[in-house]
Structures are given as structure tokens and as C-alpha cells.
Amino acid sequence: MNYFIRLIVLIVLFQGQLFAQQFQASVVKRNITPNESKYLLGYGERKSSGVLDSLYHKVVILEAGETRFFLVSTDVCVISPSEYDRVAQMVESKLGIDPGNFWWTATHTHSAPEIGPPGLPEAFMGERYKHDTDTAYANFAVNELISAIEEGIASLVPAKLGVGWGHSMANINRRARDIDDVAFLGMNPDGPVDRRIGILKIMRKSDEGLMTLIANYPIHGTVMGGGNLQISGDAPGIVANYVEEKLGAPLLFINGAAGNLAPIYSVYPDARSGRLNQFRRMLGDKILTAQEKIRYYEEEVTLKVGELIFETPLKEGLVWPTDLAKYIRHLGNGPSLVQVPVRFLNINEEIGIWGSPLELFCEIANEVRDASPFPYTFFYGYTNGWLGYMVTDEELNYGGYEPSVSPFRQNAGKDFRDAVNAYLHGELKSK
């Protein structure tokens, strides 16, 4: 073989080996359960009287080449975008992490303490926020998060990545309607739903042991209602605990487009009457089955991130919170525009993940997935804050709770869907 040809072949093989080794991952789990009574976020203002099950930060770090991606799942209801921004700035200044690569999601349990200022919920439900912000608990939770990220960076190891789908009947459309066609919170078995589970499975390369699962499924954390005063991860937390007991590795539960989707048992006064443990079978076992079916794992991984700022007119008469000034653009003569950030992650050209600080109606996410150029398209809801419900035009006509706590006008849902589709097919596909 010609010397120069042989040299080129060796270089290509060597680079391929380097590339295969470049994918690394780590996972860290931290308990953030308070040891004293706290105000719970979700439903009316109320304080906890005990602990049913623990709350956690779970952090997964993915590294491929020069790109590091940080995904956090926290057992809380929602986080204000201003709190996400504060923490993202801390993470950037202390650890050099680009905020675009740092996603902080909430599982959306309604039985967890508040973290940070109320943000937009105060504009709709000010009666719930007469008390002072609990800065002590917020600082504790944030410090634990930063410490967990530091631990994760120090513990990266070569890994492999698998992806798959599962299915669970644990949720139901909650936009009930009587003959007057006015929507109310209840059950609508004929309404739109999304029952797919999107699974990412990360294995150690050295011994092929399981490092972590990331399970994406849309369901409100409302098995227990406002009468419950015990701290709990609700359905997402119970399911995660069960799967972890079975597999011996952390599960990141990432909620999806749950804006109009409730657990099939919802708003009961306590865990027993709400059959909370049954979600271990209805959803936990389905996650276990889905991850077992993943047979192929990638050792060579590419990570590509992107961001879209979607602008849409603010609902008339809504007073925008001052701490969210970054998320509003005032025009001279027209309506003010809400600026909704949408983050994107493309993995190996076949996985397209997008996240936004919204309670999105499932129809919108379903339509995006159906039109997506990526065979595995997952929506991560409650990501990097909360900017209210994004509903469909059809459901706006029926009124009810969700449109009343939405800052958006008619056509926002359709325009949002189109903007996301365009980005998936354009910028993200071509990156």
C-alpha cells in the first residue's frame, strides 16, 4: 500500500475511534425534600403538614465532542422563567455552561414547595401568593442543583445511547363538557390525548450497565388535590421511585404536553383514595417494558442545539409581571408581544427534542410530532420556566380553566405549531 494512502487510512480509523470515545454521560440524584413545613405550589395557598415521599433533582449530562448538554428534572410544580434565568446565569458564571445547553424541567407535581418568585401565576391567581417568597428553600434547592451539576461534570464516563417508544393509558383528557358546551376540569374520554412514552436509555460503555433512563410522558401531577397537605412527587414521583427500585438506576421523568391531560384518577384528598400506587403498574411497568425493547445503542453520538423565540400578541388587559420583562416586547401602536423561548436538541439526526416553558395542549405537540422529519420527536414541557397554557383555537371557544390562565390570544397555538415545524424542518435538520 502506498505510504500516503496508508497514512490517510490510519488517520481516518484513529479519528473514528476518537469520535466513538467522545460520547460520555453522567447522572446525579439529589434529595431536596424540606425538613419543615412549606407552602405548596398548585391549587390554593396552603402549607405542608408532612412528607409522603421525597423530592429530587436529577441531572443528566451528555457530552459529544465539544458539546455538553445538561438536562435537569426537578420534583416541583413550576418554576418562573426569571428563576431559571437567575440559575442559568449562576451556572454560566461558576461552571462556564452556555445557558442554551442547560435545560431545567419541572415534573409538575402539585404537592411540592415553591422555588423562587411566582412569576406569571401571580398575574392570574394573585390570592395564592400573599406570603413572602421562601428564599431560604429556593437557595437550598439551587445550591443542591449546582453541586449536583459539578458532581456530574466530574463523573462523566464513556457511554452508549438507545431510544424507543412506549405506551400507557395512565392519562385522560380533562376538558370535560356538558350539553352547554362550556369546558370544566373533569374527564373527557373522547377528547384528544397523547399516550406515547418517549424513552432515552443511557448505558455505560465499559460494562453495559444501565446509567439512567429519561422517560417523557404527558400527565398532570394532580392525583392528589388541594386537600392533600403532604409533600409528594405525585404520579411522576411515585413512578420514578418504582422504576428506580426495579432497575437500580435513576429515572428522569420529563413531562410532556400535559396542558389538557390529567391522570385517570385526579384531585383526590389523599394518596390512598387517589390510588396513587396504581400508577406504578399503569405507567411504571410500561416504562420498564419500553426500555427492555431497546436493542440497539449508539456509541458515536452527535449533539446539536438550537433556539427559537416565538412572538405572539399578549391577551388584552393582562398585567405582565415586572420580573418577566425579558419575555415581553412592547410595540408603539400594536399589542405587546409575548416572547416564548423554544429550545431544540438534535441527537444523531434521528432524535428531535424540543422544550418550552408552557403547559401545551397535546394536539399541538401531536401535530408537530406527526410532521417532524425526526422519527423520534419528543416535547419536553415545563422547561426553563412557565408562561401559561398554550391552547388550541377550538378549545378557546369552550372557555374553562386553561384559557383563563393563558396569556395568549386566538391563533397562538396554530402559529406556534407552524413555527416549531418550520424550525425542525429548517434550522435543526440542516445543522
Q: Would the pLDDT of 4 be above 60?
A: no
Q: Write out pLDDT tens, residues 317-375.
A: 999 999 999 999 998 888 999 999 999 999 998 999 999 999 999 999 999 999 999 99
Q: Would the pLDDT of 225 be above 80?
A: yes
pTM of the model: 0.94
- Residue ranges per domain, the chain? 20-292, 303-430
Question: Which residue is listed with cell 423520534?
Answer: 376
What angle separates helix 135-154 from helix 81-95, to the nearest 10 degrees? 40
> Residues 301, 62: contact at Cβ < 8 Å?
yes
> Residues 181, 219: contact at Cβ < 8 Å?
no
Q: Would the pLDDT of 30 be above 70?
A: yes
What angle separates helix 362-371 from helix 412-423, to the nearest 10 degrees? 30
> Residues 295, 164: contact at Cβ < 8 Å?
no
Q: Would the pLDDT of 14 be above 70?
A: no
The overall average pLDDT reported for the chain is 94
How far is it, in rounded angstroms, from Cα 149 to Cα 97? 10
The strand order across the sheet containing 196-204 reads 102-106, 67-74, 56-64, 24-31, 157-167, 196-204, 210-217, 251-255
Q: What percent of the chain has pLDDT over 90?
A: 92
- pLDDT bracket for residue 22 (50, 70, 90): confident
DSSP labels, 214-267: EEEE---B-SB-TT--EE--HHHHHHHHHHHHHHSS-EEEEE-S-TTEEESS-S
Q: Write out pLDDT tens, residues 34-53.
A: 999 999 999 999 999 999 99
Range from 70-74, 126-130, 312-316 carrying the lowest mean pLDDT: 126-130
Query: Which bin fits 43, alpha (ψ -120 to 50), beta or left (φ > 0)?
Result: left
Structural element, H or E, at residue 102: strand 102-106
The grid coordinates listed for 178 are 356538558
Q: Would the pLDDT of 247 be above 50?
A: yes
How far is it, in rounded angstroms, from Cα 171 to Cα 94? 40
Q: Would the pLDDT of 107 be above 90?
A: yes
Q: Would the pLDDT of 210 be above 60?
A: yes
How far is it, in rounded angstroms, from Cα 175 to Cα 186? 6
Q: What is the pLDDT of residue 3?
A: 39
